Amino acid sequence: MTDTEGVYNHPGITEPGVDKQPTVSGVFAVTPEVVNQPDVDLLGEQIDLAQELADAGIEDVFELLDKELIGLAPVKTRIREIAALLLVEALRRKLGLSGDPPTLHMSFTGNPGTGKTTVALRMAEILHRLGFVRKGHLVSVTRDDLVGQYIGHTAPKTKEIVKKAMGGVLFIDEAYYLYRPENERDYGQEAIEILLQVMENHREDLVVILAGYVERMDRFFASNPGFRSRIAHHIDFPDYSNEELLAIGELILAKQNYKFSPAGREAMANYIVARKKQPHFANARSIRNALDRARLRQANRLVRGGATGRITANDLTTIDAPDLLASRVFGQSAATQTSLSEETESSFG
Amino acid sequence: MRITQGCFSFLPDLTDDQIRAQVQYCIDKGWAVNIEFTDDPHPRNTYWDMWGLPMFDIKDAAAVMMELADCRKAYGNLYIRISAIDSTAGWESLRISFIVNRPEEEPGFHLQRQESNGRNIRYTTHPYAADRPEGQRYASRSIKTNKAGDPLVSLNKDSAGSGLGSGNSR
């Protein structure tokens, strides 16, 4: 390659093949000295796996994942497993041992608000650091973005999205909506066909992640066996426990420079128990919404209630019990059950 | 007669890997990449047919290569060029344009000399291909495709003999 260097001096012209193999741009980018060595030398060489892991920088992503995402232990384990597989695969490729690129398409199943999108975002980063996608961006879409309104509209629309996602990760939220068995002329089928084709033919160009609720996704896969067979990793997101939800709440508040007062924390724990019994509970998303409303009430309380007229920074950052106990959730559950503490009911009334 | 136009016209035809690298360069610069085709090879014919809209918000050259493969499938016997347009000035201006596909047979141009006043001569170039009506100018060629249905078009195999790397000059 050295004798043609003159030709490649133009900024636009790079050596052929440099962009084609994702490993080269990813893993090799951190250890450039390896590039010039022929494979024969590498075969006998000892490879420091820990060093490779550190070089790829995925430990940072894991740390971020651990810090940002409470709970989800099975998901984290699974992602570490996939990352280990990818790292080994990248090393094998470096030694010229590997054949086909691995299938990386995934499906994330779990109830709403269990962190599927957040994990997908981190997944894109992990894949990028290991060199399995070239750009590492996440394109998040739903049925509306893929399926058209009239005949001939769907294919260009889906292709447009696929083109946007190339070099990164295509995240299809609530993917089961693509398939509507009750309407045989539904255009979703067309989008599915294009996606299947892309997932097969452009495996090194993009990674598709499908997400949705467990039962509906199962039904979706049952009626589209092509999808199931093209997806290598099925990851199930469990619901959060009450303690985890409380921890998530504290994390959300901390990010916005708020905190719970001890009574507020207690009220939040009670709120979670009560909210879980109601319909449409969306895990972390419900918690976030509840806290948004609590902030509203806190602001209201400070503006109207301040008899002294003077407030401290502490007042501005503290979510107290009344801010949460004013919630409608307590009103309904207090009427139907008596499990809530006296204190809660009295302050509500 | 091998027609050359635009950037890299002094080089042998680019291989797919080289095209991909060029396209990635354009995308990294923030330019929109456009695919066009024509069967009228006259150098003053600037308005080629567009293969879809320019691709504005893509991140990776693979998307363009996919469209190029589709375009070759449909118009593999015509001239195809890739151009990139830059909007940083507030309007779209062409930054780069290069040919990525050409017909197998290029009959070339007829040079017409018109004698006018005195001993003046006016010159006109006329592509032989344009004698026939649009759509019938170049023989449709059978394109070998791979398993995925993407055409295995290597321009250099037919015309130039080799890629950049081997240093084979024509």
Q: Is residue B9 part of a domain?
A: no
> Is A18 near chain B, with CB under 8 Å?
yes
Contact A4 B20 (CB under 8 A): no
Q: Is residue B86 part of a domain?
A: yes
- From residue A163, alpha-carbon distances to A82, A160, B28 in Å are 25, 5, 15
Q: Give the number of other Cβ atoms within 10 Å of residue B106's Cβ.
A: 17
Question: Residue B93 — very low, low, confident or very high, per pLDDT cuts 50/70/90?
Answer: very high
Q: Is residue B51 part of a domain?
A: yes
Alpha-carbon dihedral A193, B32, A145, B67, rounded to 10 degrees = -10
Task: Please say if the pLDDT value at position A260 is more than 60.
Answer: yes
Contact A205 B163 (CB under 8 A): no
Contact A12 B21 (CB under 8 A): yes
Is residue A134 domain-shared with residue A169, that is, in the same domain?
yes
Distance of CA A226 to the CA centre of its chain: 24
Q: Which residues neighbour A199 within 8 Å (Cβ) at sequence distance 6 or greater?
A: A105, A208, A230
Across the interface, which of A1, A14, A166 has its CB nearest the CB of B62?
A166
| Distance separating alpha carbons of residues A132 and A124, to the nearest angstrom | 9
| Distance separating alpha carbons of residues A22 and A130, to the nearest angstrom | 9
Last residue of a domain, one of A183, A214, A237: A237
Q: What is the DSSP string of A204-260?
A: TT-EEEEEE-HHHHHHHHHH-HHHHHH--EEEEEPPPPHHHHHHHHHHHHHHTT-EE
Contact B62 A205 (CB under 8 A): yes
User: Which residues of chain B are within 8 Å of residue A7 when distances are taken between CB atoms?
Assistant: 164
User: Which residues of chain B are within 8 Å of residue A166 when distances are taken between CB atoms?
Assistant: 58-60, 62-63, 66
Please tell me the total count of domains within chain B.
Answer: 1
The DSSP letter of residue B13 is P
Instruction: For residue B24, give its domain range.
Output: 16-158
More confident of the two residues A1 and A174: A174
CATH code for the domain in which residue B134 is found: 3.30.190.10
Last residue of a domain, one of A237, A264, A296: A237
Last residue of a domain, one of A208, A237, A266: A237
Give ipTM to 2 decimals: 0.71
Q: Is residue B106 part of a domain?
A: yes
Instruction: For residue A112, give its domain range.
Output: 2-237
Select from A255, A254, A281, A276 the least CA-distant residue to A265. Answer: A254
Across the interface, which of B15, B20, B57 has its CB nearest the CB of A19?
B20
| Distance separating alpha carbons of residues A16 and A13, to the nearest angstrom | 8
Task: Please say if the pLDDT value at position B57 is more than 50.
Answer: yes
Beta-carbon contacts below 8 Å between A and B: 74
Residue A186: its pLDDT value, please?
A: 87
Least trusted range by pLDDT, from A333-342, B114-123, B126-135: A333-342
Task: Please say if the pLDDT value at position A338 is more than 70.
Answer: no
Sign of the alpha-carbon torsion through A49, A50, A53, A55:
negative
CATH code for the domain in which residue A320 is found: 1.10.8.60
Is residue A107 domain-shared with residue A225, that is, in the same domain?
yes
Is residue A204 domain-shared with residue A120, that is, in the same domain?
yes
**Contact call for residues A132 and A103 (beta carbons, < 8 A):** no
Q: Tell me how long chain B is.
A: 170
| Distance separating alpha carbons of residues B68 and B51, to the nearest angstrom | 9
Is residue A167 domain-shared with residue A35, that is, in the same domain?
yes
The DSSP letter of residue A178 is G
Is residue A46 domain-shared with residue A124, that is, in the same domain?
yes
**Contact call for residues B30 and B86 (beta carbons, < 8 A):** yes
Give me A88's structure tokens: 């080994």
pLDDT, tens digit, 9 for 90 and up, residues A83-112: 888 888 888 888 887 667 788 899 999 988
Mean pLDDT calculated for residue range A13-19: 42
Q: Give the number of other Cβ atoms within 10 Å of residue A114's Cβ.
A: 26
More confident of the two residues A288 and A25: A288
Question: Residue B145 — very low, low, confident or very high, per pLDDT cuts 50/70/90?
Answer: low
pLDDT, tens digit, 9 for 90 and up, residues B125-138: 999 998 888 888 88
Is residue A212 domain-shared with residue A67, that is, in the same domain?
yes
Residue B163: its pLDDT value, please?
A: 37
Please tell me the total count of domains within chain A.
Answer: 2
Contact A167 B55 (CB under 8 A): no
